[in-house]
Amino acid sequence: MRTVTLNNGTAVPVLGLGTWRMGERSSERAAEVKALTLGLELGIRLIDTAEMYGEGKAEEIVADAVAGRRDEIYIVSKVYPHNASRKGAIAACERSLKRLKTDRIDLYLLHWRGSHPLSETVEAFETLKKDGKIKSWGVSNLDADDMRELEGVPAGKDCMSDQVLYHLGSRGIEWALLPYCQKAKIMVMAYSPLGQGPILRLPALKIIADKHGCEPAAIALAWVLRQPGVIAIPKASNPDHLRANMKALDVVLDADDLAALDTAFPPPKRGSPLDMT
């Protein structure tokens, strides 16, 4: 699998698995563990989760899925903004570690910006790093202005990633945030890279998918992954979806494909607030 290299030298696989909405119904638990396990069997080595997902239950599902192969898997989790104080973030991380049945989280993110000062959250993250409980830290849903502010707080430059909404139907980050992160070598993790589904039914994608002999989802993911320094974390519970998404790694979009996608899903013409839905 291709990788993006973080500022600390760690190579991170470009395609991972999301877990939002997992852990919400106990009747689905076994199927959700199975979906993640199948993803790992197909070659995925990164799982994205959060203390918020299923109020901790998604992290427990991740623990079951990675049991016996923890060292092979790059685990990303996130702290709620209301827990992101100097002490609160440390306690939240320890709870996540217990649910994940592991001794460290590979990348720990502030889920979105809340009322605790960034400097406090970063201090907690640096303590967690020093204690070996996280390998590195980052943020999520921070726009370019927030990222500039973060850069100015003590140890703020140790931010490894910003996880933000990015898909064909939502290209706002291309205006300022993406160039900022690419220049600073801060990895962008594209969440909802399939636009949660509806964009996949648009004819422009279907035509290009037929040309490449794959599903529209593989084109949508290959399009996100064409950007240097960007990885994608689609969520797929359906085994056919998982297999279809893996094909994204083999697709190389040519200039005609990119031009057709720009026509169907135009790039931004001006700056706008960061999209989160």
Bridge partner residues of 188 (DSSP): 162, 230
* Among the listed residues 23, 39, 54, 193, the single contact to ligand NAP using CB under 6 A: 193
Task: Mark the segment that binds ligand NAP (CB under 6 A) among 125-133, 149-157, 231-239, 252-260.
Answer: 231-239
CA distances from 30 to 48, 128, 236 (A): 18, 32, 14
* Among the listed residues 161, 235, 253, 265, the single contact to ligand NAP using CB under 6 A: 235
- 77 contributes a contact to ligand NAP by CB under 6 A: no
Cβ pair 41, 257 in contact under 8 A: no
* Among the listed residues 121, 141, 170, 227, the single contact to ligand NAP using CB under 6 A: 141
- 231 contributes a contact to ligand NAP by CB under 6 A: no
Annotate each residue in 90-129 with x if it binds ligand NAP (CB under 6 A) or - if it does not, as one string.
Answer: ---------------------x------------------
Give the Cα separation of 80 and 119 in Å (integer). Answer: 16
* Among the listed residues 6, 15, 18, 257, the single contact to ligand NAP using CB under 6 A: 18
Show Cβ contacts of residue 113 under 8 Å, excluding neighbours closer than 6 positions.
81, 139, 141, 142, 146
Residue 265: DSSP 8-state: S
Residue 130: CB minimum distance to ligand NAP, A: 25
* Among the listed residues 150, 172, 234, 274, the single contact to ligand NAP using CB under 6 A: 234
- 142 contributes a contact to ligand NAP by CB under 6 A: no
Report DSSP letters for 48-81, one per residue. E--TTGGGGHHHHHHHHHHTT-GGG-EEEEEE-G
The kind and range of the H/E element at 165 are: strand 159-165
Task: Mark the segment that binds ligand NAP (CB under 6 A) among 81-89, 145-153, 170-178, 185-193.
Answer: 185-193
How long is the chain?
Answer: 277
Residue 131: CB minimum distance to ligand NAP, A: 24
Cβ pair 70, 41 in contact under 8 A: no
Residues at the site binding ligand NAP, with contacts judged by CB under 6 A: 18-20, 48, 111, 140-141, 163, 191-197, 200, 215, 217, 233-238, 241, 244-245
